[in-house]
Amino acid sequence: MSNPSLLILAGDGIGPEVMAEVRKIIDWFGTKRGISFDVTEDLVGGAAYDVHGVPLSDATMEKAQEVDAVLLGAVGGPKYDKLDFSVKPERGLLRLRKEMDLYANLRPAQCFDALSDFSSLKQEVVSGLDIMIVRELTSGVYFGEPRGIIKEGNERVGINTQRYTESEIARVARSAFELARKRGNKVCSMEKANVMESGILWRDVVQEIHDAEYPDVELSHMYADAGAMQLTRWPKQFDVIVTDNLFGDLLSDLAAMLTGSLGMLPSASLGAPMANGRPKALYEPVHGSAPDIAGSGKANPCACILSFAMALRYSFDLGAEADRLEAAVNAVLAKGIRTADLLNTEGVTPASTSEMGDAVIAALEESL
């Protein structure tokens, strides 16, 4: 039986640095746990543009369609700011999402105990926080037609269309309910059914899917603006939140900052099951390419490491090993080992990017 396949796209800025630490951990799993992956590497973003003149080549796109999972670092940087919109680094990532039809974006917001004082909220509000936002990723207002800027009389008019089909809503709702069954068995669906017809349809379809297929899961509905307020008031009331593309973009960034550092936050984008039963999947840290610190050894690799943990759980059915890796990250933080983004407190030990990766591997060793 062949090993599961993984395509690594390190990208730009700090992407190659944080991905190097993930490669160490992948090697550790192969050596110490007998869990090996067939790993290939390729280019995306500015790195691909420099070589191919496009942010994602057709050959790389074909590889992404064939592997069991894609692990991406980060894309972009000031070097590419003046490029035409069609070839900007970010277009490579968007092409991956669209052509792989990665419709369910999973953004966990987990506050490690050792970092609870980094949040702008009170420690008791965020300590132990563990929620999952499921954002619909391939439809909605970012893709709806008509769109554009037109001229009406003497002024310009900007147009974007919020559009959802029943099937688009149903499939992301199922993703949320399936996740909830493996967590706290509770889903809150967020929309604006009070002012938007698409919100009315969203609420109706989510309720229909729940009643017909997931009656065992607790379901509630909330207007998205009220959801934002509740996330900052008492976020631990939520388990899984499912919402559309626009609101998911906003709410997941809000939830990210509850935890105190973008450098700690992973994400997964999942699509329909492939022939082997695994979903098409792309995993990436939430943070950007941080070109201002690229090459300095200051980048925090934990978000990328935790993205690989999500891959272990959702693409490779290795939940126990995902737990092991997440516990290792938590153990390192509990010892006070910190990268540059987490140094604004006393009694911590500064660590470079590679030193943080080594510390996680040491914690993995201790777990044996």
> How remote is the C-alpha of 160 from its chain's centroid?
25
Which CATH fold topology does 1-108+262-368 show?
Isopropylmalate Dehydrogenase (3.40.718)
192 counts as catalytic:
yes
- Could you read off the pLDDT of 323-368 as tens digits, one per residue? 999 999 999 999 999 999 888 777 889 999 999 999 999 999 999 9
- Name, in order, each residue with C-beta under 8 angstroms of 248's C-beta and a sequence gap of 6 or more: 105, 107, 133, 134, 135, 136, 137
Task: Considering the candidates 12, 49, 164, 192, report the single residue annotated as catalytic.
Answer: 192
Question: Is the separation of the CB atoms in 71 and 7 below 8 Å?
Answer: yes
142 counts as catalytic:
yes
Question: Is the separation of the CB atoms in 34 and 65 below 8 Å?
Answer: no
Produce one character per residue of 11-42: b if its CB has 16 or more CB atoms within 10 Å, e if not: bbbbbbbbbbbbbebbebbeeeeebebebeeb
Task: Considering the candidates 101, 130, 253, 358, report the single residue annotated as catalytic.
Answer: 253
pLDDT band at 75 (very low <50, low <70, confident <90, very high): very high
Residue 261 predicted with pLDDT over 80: no
CA neighbor of 206 nearest in space, from 231, 174, 181, 234: 174
Q: What is the average per-residue pLDDT within 287-298?
A: 94
Task: Determine how many CB atoms are found less than 10 A away from the CB of residue 89.
Answer: 26
358 counts as catalytic:
no
18 vs 352: CA distance, rounded Å: 11
* Percentage of residues of the chain with pLDDT beyond 90: 85
Q: Which pLDDT does position 116 carry in this prediction?
A: 83
pLDDT band at 157 (very low <50, low <70, confident <90, very high): very high
38 counts as catalytic:
no
* Percentage of residues of the chain with pLDDT beyond 70: 100
Residue 260 predicted with pLDDT over 80: no
Residue 189 phi/psi, 5-degree rounding, is -95, 130
Q: Which pLDDT does position 356 carry in this prediction?
A: 97
Q: Which pLDDT does position 358 carry in this prediction?
A: 98
pTM of the model: 0.91
Task: Considering the candidates 27, 101, 225, 358, report the single residue annotated as catalytic.
Answer: 225
Q: Which two tokens stand for residue 49?
A: 């543009």
**Per the CATH hierarchy, to which homologous superfamily does domain 130-258 belong?**
Isopropylmalate Dehydrogenase (3.40.718.10)
Q: What is the average per-residue pLDDT within 278-291?
A: 93
Task: Considering the candidates 249, 280, 298, 314, report the single residue annotated as catalytic.
Answer: 249
Question: Is the separation of the CB atoms in 75 and 93 below 8 Å?
Answer: yes
Q: Where in the chain is the domain with CATH 3.40.718.10?
A: 1-108+262-368, 130-258
249 counts as catalytic:
yes
> How remote is the C-alpha of 197 from its chain's centroid?
28
Question: Is the separation of the CB atoms in 107 and 258 below 8 Å?
Answer: no
Task: Considering the candidates 130, 142, 223, 236, report the single residue annotated as catalytic.
Answer: 142
